[in-house]
């Protein structure tokens, strides 16, 4: 290791990035690399979007940070604009910095309102690295540092490709769902507070909830006096082809968490809930006082992101380009035996590699080789580790062009061909 940066998630890539623009990042030699992870799955407007740059420059010079006890016009505008995109019941916004922080706030709200403490999460989930969020994260990061918070119960992830409830292609997700809740009810002490889930599990391997699942989950949640929290860190702001992934199912959560895509690459998140939940929390002395809560600079960026997503119809664009990209991935699946499954929607797609399509044996080492070769050829295609080993998470900016998609898929095709002999 030639530098003093702590390795917080395994090894770093050998190249160093010098700058970024649009759908590309550039190394010190000026070599262009297509960024099909949108940074950390966040930069939905690409790198260096001129309107975002202008907002940052203006706010940095005029009003960047305040004591958290103050409110400012950019924060009010951000909350108004964001809630205008949402169902009427989601009308109170807590602006924060990261997805983990937003999930912490949501879990604390649910515990305050219900008086319970038990939380249900998917067994392939990722909700963050802070205390409560990491306790509800099961796709990695659980070992080596002692016990997590008590009271977190797991629900089987409805992973159609690998579920034991999928018999010869006939996936009975309802049977799996009912079985999971039977186990949860046996474990519970009767003090349930919340269910927290992603509509499409990203770090878990781009696993999309079956149609009807979210409605069934809402009913189970409310029947037990719990609140339903949707973590749309990666699915919000148009990426899946709707402004928010829950819109496909017509299920409005009690609490909605946005992050990553909300700041288009800058640290901004939001926990959004009803006036009734906000009032109940306030009456009970709810406290979530952080240094950068309701900072004006990121709030102004968030308001601009909302404006651009609506004005430029980026949700529709993600749906159209997602269909185009998914068709190319399906074609690659026909030509490369190591591709076992293609899934996801909009511009959040997954490609799972296997060593054998019949046994579905994971191909994590092969996936790492393909990912490295893609990087050498000029495309950053993220390969999952831990629970999603061997799964590529493909999530370009919503501003990506068809030509850029074609270029990335040509590179992916070449890398699969060179590395994928099984």
By annotation, the residues acting in catalysis are 126, 198, 231, 234, 260, 393
* Integer-rounded Cα radius of gyration of the chain: 21
Reduced to 3 states (helix: H, G, I; strand: E, B; else coil), residue 48 is coil
Q: What are phi and psi of 302, to 5 degrees?
A: -60, -40
Say how far apart CA 399 and CA 417 lie, in whole Å. 28
Q: Identify the bridge partners of residue 153 per DSSP, sorted by sequence position.
A: 120
- Beta bridge partners, 92, equal 273
Residue 67 phi/psi, 5° resolution?
A: -55, 140
Pairing of strands 118-122, 192-197: parallel
For tokens 């623009």, what's the residue?
Answer: 21
- For residue 388, give the nearest of 405, 410, 412, 363 by alpha carbon: 363
147: which residues sit within 8 A by CB, 6+ positions away? none
Task: Report the alpha-carbon distance of residue 43 to residue 239 in Å, rounded.
Answer: 11
Mapped onto helix, strand or coil, the DSSP state of residue 333 is helix
Three-state DSSP class for residue 112: helix
Q: Is 196 helix (H, G, I), strand (E, B) or coil?
A: strand
Structure tokens at 144: 């080596």
Closest to 209 (Cα-Cα) out of 176, 256, 238: 176
The number of residues making up the chain comes to: 422
Q: How far is the C-alpha of 214 from the C-alpha of 208, rounded, in Å?
A: 11
Is residue 36 packed enough to be buried (19+ CB in 10 Å), middle (13-18) or exposed (0-12)? Answer: buried
H or E stretch covering 204: none
Cβ contact 136:103 at 8 Å: yes
Q: Is 170 exposed, middle or buried (0-12, 13-18, 19+ CB in 10 A)?
A: exposed
């Amino acid at each position: 290791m030639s530098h003093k940066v702590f390795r917080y998630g395994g090894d770093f890539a050998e190249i160093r990035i010098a700058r970024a623009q649009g759908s590309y990042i550039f190394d010190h030699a000026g070599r262009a690399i297509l960024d099909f992870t949108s940074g950390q799955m966040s930069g939905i407007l690409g790198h260096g979007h001129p309107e975002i740059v202008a907002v940052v420059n203006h706010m940095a010079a005029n009003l960047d940070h305040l004591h958290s006890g103050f409110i400012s016009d950019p924060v009010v505008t951000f909350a108004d604009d964001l809630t205008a995109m949402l169902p009427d019941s989601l009308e109170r916004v807590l602006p924060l910095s990261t997805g983990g922080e937003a999930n912490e706030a949501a879990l604390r709200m649910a515990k305050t309102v219900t008086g319970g403490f038990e939380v249900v999460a998917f067994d392939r989930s990722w909700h963050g690295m802070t205390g409560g969020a990491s306790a509800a994260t099961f796709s990695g990061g659980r070992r080596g540092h002692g016990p997590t918070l008590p009271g977190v119960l797991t629900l089987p992830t409805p992973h159609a490709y690998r579920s034991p409830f999928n018999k010869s292609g006939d996936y009975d997700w309802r049977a799996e769902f009912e079985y999971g809740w039977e186990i949860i009810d046996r474990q519970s002490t009767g003090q349930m507070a919340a269910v927290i889930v992603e509509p499409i599990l990203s770090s878990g391997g781009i696993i999309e909830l079956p149609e009807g699942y979210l409605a069934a989950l809402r009913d189970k949640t409310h029947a037990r006096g719990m609140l339903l929290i949707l973590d749309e860190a990666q699915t919000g702001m148009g990426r899946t082809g709707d402004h928010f992934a829950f819109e496909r199912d017509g299920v409005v959560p009690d609490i909605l968490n946005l992050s990553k895509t909300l700041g288009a690459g800058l640290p901004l998140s939001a926990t959004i809930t009803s006036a009734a939940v906000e009032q109940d929390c306030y009456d009970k002395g709810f406290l979530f006082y952080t240094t950068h809560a309701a900072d004006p600079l990121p709030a102004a960026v968030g308001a601009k992101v909302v404006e651009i997503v609506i004005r430029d119809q980026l949700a529709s664009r993600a749906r159209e380009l997602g269909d185009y990209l998914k068709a190319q991935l399906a074609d690659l699946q026909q030509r490369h035996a190591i591709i076992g499954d293609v899934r996801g929607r909009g511009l959040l797609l997954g490609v799972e590699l296997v060593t054998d399509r019949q046994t579905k044996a994971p191909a994590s080492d092969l996936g790492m080789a393909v990912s490295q070769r893609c990087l050498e050829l000029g495309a950053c295609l993220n390969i999952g580790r831990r629970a999603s080993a061997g799964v590529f998470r493909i999530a370009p900016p919503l501003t990506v062009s068809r030509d850029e998609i074609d270029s990335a898929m040509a590179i992916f095709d070449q890398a699969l061909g060179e590395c994928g002999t099984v």
